[in-house]
Amino acid sequence: VLDPSPQAPAAPVADVHIRASFDSADGLAELARTSDVVTFEVEHTAPDGARQVELRRPVRPSSATLAACQHRLREKRFLRDHGFPVAPWHEADSAAALDAAARSVGWPCVVKIPFAGYDGRGQVRCATPGDLAAAAAALGFDRGPLVIERHIPFVAELAVIVARGLDGERRTYSVVKTVHDDGILVEVAAPAAVPQAIAERARVLAESIAGALDLVGVLAVEMFLLERGEVLVNELAPRPHNSGHYTINACSTSQFEQHVRAICGLPLGETTLLRPAAMVNLLGDRRGPARLTGVEQALSDPQVSLHLYGKAEVWPRRKLGHVTALGDGPDDALARARRAAAALRWEPLAASARP
């Protein structure tokens, strides 16, 4: 793995940890030298780096797929050019252009930075024309044009993880329901309690997008479900995604194993949902060293599993782990996962107890 952090979560399971920045030419050369095939877990790496590695080793998904998905404008253009349904959107490279763009997409709207936003960071919701100036000031145009899109009054958010192998074989996981709080994913329920026709529409969309991207690996497609059954594509992530973490416990092939199978050119595994499941994220609620308490209580439900990412630092709303619960149905699973998550707390660690 290439990761600048000495506490890289992947380092303990990697053969070699190359400590260099994601765009370090030396680090990338070393990564290419020591690997048979290269993939990425973070999209906010420079596509130039992926292209550099690609000269020596297969990068899967490809640098072209990475480039299309990591930049909101390129992603929107890709979706539009292939005829996939998206919220009305526009780009704007100045405050004046933002005013005009807002009029064309309609109110309320959301203004987003074009690059490196995640977990709802880098976006501002605007209800009236008066909000636009503050959004422009907060986000700035220094990263390139801002993306402005209509705020969609969705009835639910859905997500689909699709895997595509080297030979184009596709396997798709259940359509799940996701819940975001202020832009950050907090809960997932699998399967999504939606009519079969809607689940089918979401599945076909995800598989078509994977094909259009010429994807090798797994792809998460985030969607908005509208009142009349229409499904719009919100965002793409060409990697294992938070909305698919439940697959570790609820499917015979997790999204992580599936990704590795796909990029190594191995046959894909079964994606059937073996039991209804739900996932609740564990977010940091303070800054500084902290210790997780309540584990015994959380695990007193035998259908609950706890996953911690080993991130060295806690900060407010940082994703630090998740709980998955299996259940008799998605609602039962969700109730169990919520109960377990509610029992868990980050307690500040006294200075003397710090490792």
Ligand X SMILES: Nc1ncnc2c1ncn2[C@@H]1O[C@H](COP(=O)(O)OP(=O)(O)O)[C@@H](O)[C@H]1O
324 binds ligand X (CB under 6 A): no
Beta carbon nearer to Mg ion, 222 or 257: 222
Closest separation in Å from C-beta 272 to Mg ion: 26
| Residue 124 CB, nearest approach to ligand X (Å) | 11
Question: Whose Cβ is closer to ligand X: residue 9's or residue 183's?
Answer: 183
Residue 43 binds ligand X, judged by CB under 6 A: no
Q: Which of ligand X, Mg ion, none has residue 259 at its interface (CB below 5 to 8 Å by kind)?
A: none
Indicate whether 257 belongs to the interface with ligand X (CB under 6 A).
no
Smallest distance, Å, CB 293 to ligand X? 29
Instruction: Give, as ranges, the residues between 105 and 124 that touch ligand X (CB under 6 A).
Output: 110, 117-120
Q: What residues are paired with 232 via a beta bridge?
A: 224
In the bound state with ligand X, the residue whose beta carbon lies nearer, of 157 and 207, is 157
Three-class HEC string of 77-97: HHHHHCCCCECCEEEECCHHH
Distance CA 75, CA 91 (A): 12
Q: How many residues bind ligand X (CB under 6 A)?
A: 16
Cβ-based neighbours of 20, under 8 Å, separated by 6 or more: 2, 4, 26, 27, 28, 30
Residues 50-79 that bind ligand X (CB under 6 A): none
Minimal CA–CA distance to 4: which of 38, 44, 34? 44
> Which one of 235, 277, 278, 336 is in contact with ligand X (CB under 6 A)?
235
Cis ω before 58 (30° cut-off from 0): no
| Among 3, 222, 257, 301, interactor with ligand X by CB under 6 A | 222
Residue 152 near ligand X by CB under 6 A: yes
Residue among 77, 180, 307, 338 that touches ligand X (CB under 6 A): 180
- Window of 44-52, 147-155, 266-274, 330-338 that interacts with ligand X by CB under 6 A: 147-155
Cβ proximity to Mg ion: between 149 and 235 the closer is 235
Nearer to ligand X, 218 or 343 (CB): 218
- We find the least distance from the C-beta atom of residue 141 to ligand X, in angstroms, to be 19
- Does residue 144 bind ligand X (CB under 6 A)? no
Which distant-in-sequence residues (6+ apart) come within 8 Å of 227 by Cβ? 153, 155
- Asked if 340 and 304 count as a contact pair (C-beta separation under 8 A), the reply is yes
End-to-end CA distance of the chain: 24
Q: Which does 317 bind (CB under 5 to 8 A by kind): Mg ion, ligand X, none?
A: none
Residue 148 half-sphere exposure toward CB, CA atoms < 13 A: 32
- Residue length, the chain? 355
Q: Are 122 and 112 in contact, with CB atoms under 8 Å apart? A: yes
63-70 and 72-81 are packed helices; what angle lies between their axes, rounded to 10 degrees?
100
Q: Does 3 bind ligand X (CB under 6 A)?
A: no
CB 291 → ligand X: shortest distance, Å?
28
Q: How far apart are CA 300 and CA 306, in angstroms?
A: 11
Q: How far is the CB of 198 from ligand X (least distance, A)?
A: 18
Virtual CA dihedral for 232, 236, 241, 242, nearest 10 degrees? -40
Least Cβ distance, residue 120 to ligand X (angstroms):
4
The CA-atom distances, in angstroms, between 154 and each of 48, 110, 189, 302, 333 are: 36, 14, 17, 34, 23
Buried b (16+ CB within 10 A) or exposed e, 94-111: eeebbeebbeebeeebbb
- Could you list the residues that contact Mg ion (CB under 5 A)? 222, 235
Q: Report the residue from 43, 157, 187, 301 that binds ligand X according to the rule CB under 6 A.
A: 157
Select from Mg ion, ligand X, none the partner in contact with residue 54, using the beta carbon and a kind-dependent cut-off of 5 to 8 Å: none
The CA distance from 86 to 83, in Å, is 9
Residue 138 C-beta: closest distance to Mg ion, Å? 19
Residues of this chain that interact with ligand X (CB under 6 A) are: 87, 110, 117-120, 149-152, 157, 180, 183, 222, 234-235
